[in-house]
Amino acid sequence: MEHLISSALIGEIEEALAQVSEIRAARIVTSPAGTIDEIHVLALPSKAPKQLVRDIESTLMAAFGIAIDHKKISIAQLGHESLPSAVGSGNVHARAQISSINAEVSGVYVNMSVALELEGEIFTGKATGPASRTGRDRLVAEATLDAIAQYLQGAFAFALEDVQILRLGRESIAVSCVVLVTSLGEQAFAGSALVRQNEKDSIVRATLDAINRRLGFLTTS
Q: List, in order, residues 6 or more apart from 111 with CB less than 8 Å away.
A: 103, 104, 105, 126, 127, 128
- Please name which of 137, 143, 158, 150 lies closest in space to residue 215, comparing C-alpha atoms: 158
pTM: 0.62
Q: Which range, of 130-139, 159-168, 177-186, 197-206, averages the lowest pLDDT?
A: 177-186
Superfamily of domain 7-78: ANL, C-terminal domain (3.30.300.30)
pLDDT at 102 over 90: yes
pLDDT tens sequence across 177-215: 998 887 667 788 888 999 987 899 999 999 998 887 666
Domain ranges within the chain, ordered by starting residue: 7-78, 91-219
Mean pLDDT of 148-162: 85
CATH number for the domain formed by residue range(s) 91-219: 3.30.160.270
